[in-house]
Structure 1
Amino acid sequence: MNVAVPGCLITGYEKLIPALTLPDVNDRHVFAAAIRAGAQVIVTANLRDFPESELAQFGVEAKHPDEFVMDLFNLDGVRVHQAVSATAARWRNPPGTPADVCDRLVAAGLPISAAALRR
């Protein structure tokens, strides 16, 4: 990830961890990093461990990946289609198609996004 997205690593969040309250204490580092980065959204399928009541205090919300991709799709569907095509084009063994990417999205729990991309 660090090579693909330079500057993606967040540092200096560790001191925030002890003050944060979440149902799973092992998720506090994610929340702390989001606060430190000034993120508005934590994208996770684990929504139950990121309650709105805790996140809202810091201007952060949790979204399921399917909802997040649909937000992107609704903002700029053309670019999302381009990203899916580019992803498929990078697959080599075996080669991929946009339909293959959509199949993987369904398998990963993003059926709504996959259906929108197939239209």
Structure 2
Amino acid sequence: MFSAVLDTSVLYPSLLRDVLLELAWEKVYRPVWSDRILQELDAVIRRRHSHQTDMNVDSYITRLISRMNKAFPDALTADVRELELNLPDPKDVHVVACAEAGHAEAIITRNLKDFPPAALPQDIRAIPPDAFLLDSLDMNPQLFAQALGAIASRSGRHGLPISTFNDLVVHLDRKWCPGLRSTLSEHGF
């Protein structure tokens, strides 16, 4: 099964994370992350929710990370070792190290500039979330549609006016994945 590291940039915002994790739940791919990636997620959520009480944010983060690790027990990669890489941001080397340790073929990230192909090991590539979503849809349209249907059925969780499958597709098409609506239509959805 194809394996991919989920960079912090795709684990927040919550709707994009939900889509990626739902696809993993449907066995479209195997997600991979490390403690350091989860620590970065923790920090991002705290920054974005600084207006809320610490207790609420602590509880949310604890629940979120616990649920992620429980749903995908093989995702957390423990034996991440230091690598010598020449990335634009040396703080991102841990993401590539996680990919190597977790035997992932890809890093799904919104920050492609931080992972130039020439700086990555030959067997790892950085993929933007829109390309990953469209590739996943092309490879298994039925499972992809099931995943989006499951998310749409939990409407209102992301503070967005998404109440139907079509609302979700329109939002994703506009926000993160241009071409999703037309590609789904080509597959009969």
Short-chain TM bin: 0.7 to 0.9
Aligned to 1:71: 135
> In structure 2, do the counterparts of structure 1 residues 27 and 8 end up closer, same or farther at CA, with 3 Å as the change threshold?
same
1:25 aligns with 2:90: yes
Instruction: Work out the number of aligned pairs and report it.
Output: 116
1:114 CA drift (Å): 3.8
Match for 2:133: what amino acid?
V
Structure 2: state its 5+ residue gaps: 1-67
**Superposition pairs for residues 1-119 of structure 1, below 5 Å?**
1-13=68-80, 15-17=81-83, 19-55=84-120, 57-91=121-155, 96-118=163-185
> In structure 2, do the counterparts of structure 1 residues 51 and 92 end up closer, same or farther at CA, with 3 Å as the change threshold?
closer
> In structure 2, do the counterparts of structure 1 residues 118 and 98 end up closer, same or farther at CA, with 3 Å as the change threshold?
farther
- Superposition RMSD on alpha carbons, in Å? 2.0
Higher relative contact order (CA 8 A, sep 6+): 2
Q: TM-score, normalised by structure 2?
A: 0.55
1:85 CA drift (Å): 0.7
Q: Report if aligned partners of 1:39, 1:60 keep a CA contact under 8 Å in 2.
A: yes
Q: Report if aligned partners of 2:87, 2:116 keep a CA contact under 8 Å in 1.
A: yes
Q: Report if aligned partners of 1:10, 1:36 keep a CA contact under 8 Å in 2.
A: yes
Relative to total residues, which structure has the larger helix share, 1 or 2? 1
1:108 CA drift (Å): 3.7
Q: Report if aligned partners of 2:112, 2:128 keep a CA contact under 8 Å in 1.
A: yes
Structure 1: state its 5+ residue gaps: none
